[in-house]
Structure 1
Amino acid sequence: MAEAPSGLRILLHQHQKERTPVHISSHADRDRVIEIFKKAILKSDSPENFALQTVQEAIKPQRQTVLVQDENQSLENALRTLLQELVSSAVQSGEDIMQYGQSIDDQESTYGQIPRLLDIVLFLCEKGHVEGGMIFQLLEDLTEMSTMRDCKEVFGYIESKQDILGKQELFGRGKLVMLRTCNQLLRRLSKANDVVFCGRILMFLAHFFPLSERSAVNIKGVFNTSNETNYEKDAPNGISIDFNFYKTFWSLQEHFRNPASTTVAPTKWHKFQSNLTVVLDTFEAQPLSDDDGKANNLEEEESAAFNIKYLTSSNLMGLELKDPSFRRHILVQCLILFDYLKAPGKNEKDGPSESMKEEIKTCEERVKNLLETIPPNGKEFLHSIEHILEREKNWVWWKRDGCPPFEKQSTERKTSHDSVKKRRPRLRLGNRELHQLWTWADKNPVSLLYHILLYVK
């Protein structure tokens, strides 16, 4: 067999007698490999005791033979098929997929068949017997086939193996697959009900990827335009507030979720500016007192509440306007939009015009004055928001400079022996040559006397 390029082969380190290599190309060969691994996952030994022999039995390599890319891909396809069969069997039996096949009488086994299969593949990847990205592909398939309840257990397995998965020889081959897997999980999760699970996934990614990883910083600044705020379009019967104000107020959310569209056309900006003026006029005409802040227990609410989105019912509009926390949320949204429009580095064509800049400045001053007057601790709250927005500018500049890495590289510290300066040798006369002559005369006085006598003669 011709030797394959080094980048396309996987070494099998154990010697065996020469056999005819078997290619897993037909369905019969794939089924044979699946049966071999089905028997392997029933073993209770550590994978290091039988994993390599299992691969050798499935592939039947020659002595000192390597797996080329096609053979490795065929093995991966067989394992993915086996994983799909195990998940399907677990679903049909009504068991959790990570506990499927776990024997109650077996005191030593704490894993089901799927974790055993993953352990075997992970060991083979770690030792270089199979391609390092295979384990990541199986984990991606497993999360796609699992419910969100099962995904939590699957991710728990991933977290328990993160020290091995994070090794450079493995993670370097599968980091894009793992990133895609985690992003798909995040898209499936509910931001309101799965906050802890989302945090676990983000912490996992932060553990492996550097802080300056470009894939996590939204380089293009794309907005989440799918976050729509639905509100009533027609006035219900018996409404106690101005319904026109209600529609004007909630229409601002269309601009907040996509600030870039606000300055596309002058008409859109004028509409936003006029609607915002109506809202600010209402806030100024109905100021909140200190009693309103105490009545709403704002300090306790901020420490305990977790508001994703406010209700938009017209019946609640009057109560929400009296809520200090509600007003703060709306006004902070205004400051974020203004900060985006004034962001550094914008092209003149994309940025606001001079007249818009003046109107932005006027509205911004009104918003800040309102934030200062909202109890309790209005000035302190405004100062914190301004500080956050100022730091956000550094983040914007960093992204527009191409996200240069800002992690400081570790430097080797010099040992104390290297850092100590060597003492200069002491010379009894002016330079090294005279010093050597002087010391030579001290060590050889007879020879010196002989030369003096020759000179006198």
Structure 2
Amino acid sequence: MAVPDAASESALTARLNYLLRRARTIKRSTSIDPPLQVTALVSDNEPVLERIDPDKEIHMLAIESAAKHVFYANLGSTRIDDPSFVTIWNLLDILQYCGDRDLCSQQLVLLLVEELLDSLSIAACRTAFRFLESRREAIIATRSQNKDLVILRLCNELLRRLSRAEDPVFCGRVYIFLFQSFPLGDKSSVNLRGNFHVENVTTFEDYLKTSSPEGDEMQVEASRPEEIVKEESKSEEKEAKPTKSDKATKGTPPTLDFDTLYPVFWSLQHSFSNPPRLFHEENFKQFQRGLEETLAKFKEVPKVIQSGDSARRAGGHPRSDDNHDEYASAFNPKYLTSRDLFKLELSDLAFQRHILVQALILIDFLLTLTEKSKKKAYYQNAQKAMQYGFTLSEDDTAWALGIKNSIANYLQDGPDGKFYYRMVDTVLSRDKNWVRWKMENCQPFTRDRVPAKDFLESKSGAQRAVASKKTTKPATLPPTLQFLSNTEAEKGLSQLRQPDRFTQPSAESYAKQVRMSELDLDIADAEEEKRQLEEKKTSNTWRGLRLASKDRLSSFDRLEHGKGLERLFQPVTSSIEATGDDNAPTAPEDRDCVPQEEH
């Protein structure tokens, strides 16, 4: 292994100290943000760190040794809340700049951040972690396997130190940083072998409680929330008065009491943490009974609603400042399995939802082991670790579908029940896609960028394919234009210039055509011919009426249905008729067409 020269290391240490002194004059702020502008430390032609040794490996080791020397010297003499601690942030910015330009190893800045987090308390780590969050884009701009391993290691070590009960927000920041630092299809956080968290053991008193002193009951009664006492008093009043629902449910078996249900309920956690244990018939029967009894007890006990849910149910809206406390109060990192608290826990709606969501996850796992699901192509091609020899029977499948539907209906009750179940159902549906992707050995779903040469060739080929082609003159005219080739008396376009094509027909001409159609109808024998003549007569009648309405609208009352249009054009027989007097005598029929003299 190459060893850097001591003189080279001393020269690089002096160079880093010089750059840090200049950084204090450029960046006046003592906080993490804004980042140091490293280009302002040197002139245009001056390198940040000169290459002292021609061997690249020796040069990298010398820079790493010099950087650690400066880092530990400043870390041991300052505290993170001191203004002078900005020297550490400036040093990390300089090393990040050098790592991006291959002047030092890319993971050097992450190694120093890992050392920094290990040397600080949890409270100080919250401040130091902001450096990674603010420089995340610059850190992940250039990816390498060594850098990814350091990111995973330092985040996992930090998560081991944190308590999910006391530091849930900080844990969330670390997880978000991990999710944003790695691509979506990265396998680093995938459980490829499908191992279950069997180390998560829930301990409880697995024996039945024989007796309960009266004093203990009074003590538990006094310690219960006021909401439970009110709900139970209401339920006792209802029990005192039999109702129709009591008569309807008289045949249903009673639920287990709290002492009997206690070991049955907490034994469900064994199956939740290790689902393959249900492959044994005895364990599966116990799980069926436990889940059914638990759901029945949830429906029976009075509900305690969280403060935020109570406000929404009453029509109010909790303040935005209280949202954090509202969600934190519903967070259970580890269940309390004390027998004295069991009755109170079962009445908590948030606790009930946590248990039932666990049951939905396990039931979805069991439904992937049915005979129908195992015949799917992605299951046949799955890795061996994800294929199980157990197959869920038809009766057990029917039970699983039924209890899943019952849980879904129960989760939709209560405040925001519809929204809560929709959120849970969406998460579980998307998780099925991730399970399928994992069973298919995590095939990449991102494609490499198409080379520029291939893109240009495809583009030019598409342009040639859709290019307009020259139209060739047809050898003969289409049938619709055959009249243009007429060489008889009138040729070509002269037919289009006929005066009758531009003259509007008169109403009298349509009246004549109607009269001709009536004559043809009298001598027609075939039904098809009569139908065509009737259509022709109707069409001409309508056309004649439309034209006559412009100047003979006052004569429309003289028409008779089915008698043609001739009466529209007959002259008025008398002046009295012309005035429209209904009481005046009419002229004889044989003189209708004879005009009368005017007096």
Q: What is the TM-score when the length of structure 2 is the normalising length?
A: 0.53
Deviation for aligned residue 1:400: 1.0
Q: Which residue of 2 aligns with 1:269?
A: 284
| Long gaps (5+) in structure 2 | 27-36, 218-256, 374-378, 476-599
Task: Indicate which of 5, 19, 24 corresponds to 2:4.
Answer: 24
Q: Which residue of 2 aligns with 1:336?
A: 361
Q: Deviations over 1:377-407 (max 9, x none)?
A: 7677656645543443222111111222334
Give 1 or 2 for the bigger CA radius of gyration.
2
- Distance across 2 between alignment mates of 1:381 and 1:118: 44
Q: 1:275 to 1:296 in 2, by over 3 A?
A: farther
SS at match of 1:212: coil
Q: Is the 8 A contact 1:179 1:205 kept in 2?
A: yes
Q: Which residue of 1 aligns with 2:437?
A: 398
Q: Is the 8 A contact 1:338 1:360 kept in 2?
A: no
- Distance across 1 between alignment mates of 2:178 and 2:434: 20
- Distance across 2 between alignment mates of 1:371 and 1:121: 54
- Distance across 2 between alignment mates of 1:136 and 1:381: 40
Q: Is the 8 A contact 2:258 2:342 kept in 1?
A: no
Deviation for aligned residue 1:114: 0.8
Deviation for aligned residue 1:75: 2.8
Deviating more after overlay: 375-384 vs 140-149: 375-384
Q: Which residue of 1 aligns with 2:331?
A: 308
Task: Indicate which of 372, 388, 391 corresponds to 1:350.
Answer: 388
Q: Could you tell me which amino acid in structure 2 is paired with residue 60 of structure 1?
A: I
Q: Could you tell me which amino acid in structure 1 is paired with residue 402 of structure 2?
A: E
Deviation for aligned residue 1:242: 4.0
Alignment of 1:35-434 (within 5 A): 36-44=15-23, 45=26, 47-48=38-39, 49-50=41-42, 55-56=49-50, 60-61=52-53, 66-90=54-78, 95-96=79-80, 100=82, 102=84, 112-168=86-142, 174-232=147-205, 238=213, 240=217, 242-263=258-279, 265-280=280-295, 282-283=297-298, 286=300, 297=309, 300=312, 304-306=326-328, 307-309=330-332, 310-343=335-368, 344=373, 345=379, 350-355=388-393, 358-359=395-396, 361-362=398-399, 364-366=401-403, 368-369=405-406, 371-373=408-410, 375-376=413-414, 385-386=424-425, 388-407=427-446, 421-424=466-469
Q: Is the 8 A contact 2:301 2:346 kept in 1?
A: no
Task: Point out which structure has higher relative CO (alpha carbons under 8 A, 6+ apart).
Answer: 1
Q: Which residue of 2 aligns with 1:107?
A: none
SS at match of 1:120: helix
- Distance across 2 between alignment mates of 1:129 and 1:32: 15
- Between the two proteins, the alignment pairs up a number of residues equal to 383
Deviation for aligned residue 1:36: 4.8
- Distance across 1 between alignment mates of 2:102 and 2:340: 65
SS at match of 1:215: coil
Q: Deviations over 1:402-449 (max 9, x none)?
A: 222334777779999x8595444688999xxxxxxxxxxxxxxxxxxx
Deviation for aligned residue 1:85: 3.5
Q: 1:422 to 1:405 in 2, by over 3 A?
A: same
Deviation for aligned residue 1:128: 2.5
Q: Is the 8 A contact 2:106 2:147 kept in 1?
A: yes
- Distance across 2 between alignment mates of 1:228 and 1:287: 27
Q: Which residue of 1 aligns with 2:558?
A: none
- Distance across 2 between alignment mates of 1:126 and 1:308: 41
Deviating more after overlay: 292-301 vs 125-134: 292-301
Q: Deviations over 1:209-252 (max 9, x none)?
A: 22111113333333334444343457596455643421221221
Q: Is the 8 A contact 1:341 1:351 kept in 2?
A: no
Deviation for aligned residue 1:363: 5.0
Q: Deviations over 1:51-73 (max 9, x none)?
A: 976743xx634xxxx33213312
Deviation for aligned residue 1:182: 2.7
| Long gaps (5+) in structure 1 | 1-7, 9-21, 103-110, 431-457
- Distance across 1 between alignment mates of 2:281 and 2:113: 50
Q: Could you tell me which amino acid in structure 2 is paired with residue 335 of structure 1?
A: L
Q: Deviations over 1:142-168 (max 9, x none)?
A: 223332333233322223323332323
- Distance across 2 between alignment mates of 1:222 and 1:154: 34
Q: 1:305 to 1:137 in 2, by over 3 A?
A: closer
Q: Is the 8 A contact 1:100 1:113 kept in 2?
A: no
- Distance across 2 between alignment mates of 1:172 and 1:183: 17
SS at match of 1:42: helix
- Distance across 2 between alignment mates of 1:323 and 1:351: 39
Q: 1:229 to 1:89 in 2, by over 3 A?
A: farther
Q: Is the 8 A contact 2:196 2:273 kept in 1?
A: yes
- Distance across 2 between alignment mates of 1:222 and 1:32: 52
Deviating more after overlay: 81-90 vs 28-37: 28-37
- Distance across 2 between alignment mates of 1:183 and 1:150: 17
Q: Which residue of 1 aligns with 2:486?
A: none
SS at match of 1:41: helix
Q: Deviations over 1:259-293 (max 9, x none)?
A: 23333x44443443443344345446x266xx877
